[in-house]
Chains A and B, each alone.
Chain A
Amino acid sequence: MKFGIVSFPGSNCDDDAVFAATETLGEPAVKLWHKDHDLQGSDVIILPGGFAYGDYLRAGAIARFSPIMHEVSAHASRGGPVIGICNGFQIACEAGLLPGALMRNAGLQFLSMPVTIRVENTGTRWTSLCEVGQRLTMPIAHGEGRYTVDAATLERVEGEGLVVFRYVDASGEATDAANVNGSLDNIAGVRNFAGNVVGLMPHPERALDAQLGSTDGRVLFESVLAAVHA
């Protein structure tokens, strides 16, 4: 299975994602330059973290118009797996691949810390090997991760099970204290209706090796491997 990792000017987690695919999972990976129009046969697309275009205007606002996003959207509409991590989640929302938007953290601070998230939905290519209620620990590193959506869309997002992850405390409760950035309903990650596109603020690609503190990100990548090989 081939991972395609999009590099925008300002992406800074693209190498982490390549490392995750090649060194940790032993799968081939290729970096896709944002100006290209070719996914080079990638089966799975990762929109990595960073500060694409310096977050000018709004995080993800300009990156979504990069030439490669045309191919990424086409891949997504064919049912191909896509994950947007952190800045990649912001880009996926701006591109309309996922509902909602990410705003400035409620506490205004850039947050770099491990968080616990709870799996809410396993009907995605990225969580099929998880169990509902499973808790995962992964790092976050963002200033604009407060998930926001209008009331009507929130009803649909919650009603149709599009919430994939919520920020929870150690006992698995979605408390206000655990909601580090002030997201609506503690939402840390969402999916599209088809379940092939997932976006989240935490970094699963930085939680693949015990030496880095957690291997809980592994199950997302193992899920997509299983989905593509199925």
Chain B
Amino acid sequence: MKHFRINVHIIPRKGLLDPQGKAVADALHTLGFDAVRDVHVGRYLVIETAAADVAAAEAAVREMCARLLANPVTEDFEIAGVVTA
């Protein structure tokens, strides 16, 4: 078994009202960042786990996301990177 650090992004599902992201976008506009079109506020998780290889580590994290880390009704997830710890 090797040790991995897996970075996961949990983001609000596209199309759903994201008032927090909108509030941040409005604040950026107030600061003069007029080019900002949209902001989405999600969560960033770093999972440290043992696994046989990268594929197994990714598969395990996908299952973790499906069962706990992301709400299947309102959120999507993406694995942003897997590094050997």
Contact = CB atoms under 8 A, between A and B. Distances in A.
Is B truly associated with A?
A: yes
Interface of A: 57-58, 61-62, 65, 93-94, 100-101, 103-108, 146, 148-150, 153, 182
Nearest to A58: B71
Contact of A105 (B16, B19, B68): B19
**8 nearest interchain CB pairs?**
A101-B73, A101-B74, A108-B19, A106-B19, A101-B71, A148-B74, A103-B74, A58-B71
Contacts, number: 35
Contacts of A150: 73
Interface of B is mostly: mixed
Contacts of B16: 103, 148
A149 B73 contact: yes
A30 B23 CA distance: 43
Interface of B: 16-17, 19-20, 23, 43, 68-69, 71, 73-74
Contacts of A94: 71
B23 A108 contact: yes
Contacts of B69: 57
Contacts of A93: 73
A178 to B, nearest CB: 17
Given A107-B19, A182-B17, A61 B68 contact: yes
Contacts of A149: 73
A99 to B, nearest CB: 8
B71 to A, nearest CB: 5
Given A62-B68, A94-B71, A150-B73, 15 more contacts: A58-B71, A61-B68, A93-B73, A100-B73, A101-B71, A101-B73, A103-B16, A103-B74, A104-B20, A106-B17, A107-B19, A108-B20, A108-B23, A148-B16, A182-B19
A75 B82 CA distance: 41
A7 to B, nearest CB: 22
A62 B67 CA distance: 11
Contacts of B71: 58, 61, 94, 101
A213 B20 CA distance: 33
24 contacts: A57-B43, A57-B68, A57-B69, A58-B71, A61-B68, A61-B71, A62-B68, A65-B68, A93-B73, A94-B71, A101-B73, A101-B74, A103-B17, A104-B20, A105-B19, A106-B17, A106-B19, A107-B19, A146-B17, A148-B16, A148-B74, A149-B73, A153-B73, A182-B19
A150 B14 CA distance: 12
A124 B65 CA distance: 33
A135 to B, nearest CB: 27
Contacts of A148: 16, 73-74
Contact of A104 (B19, B68, B73): B19
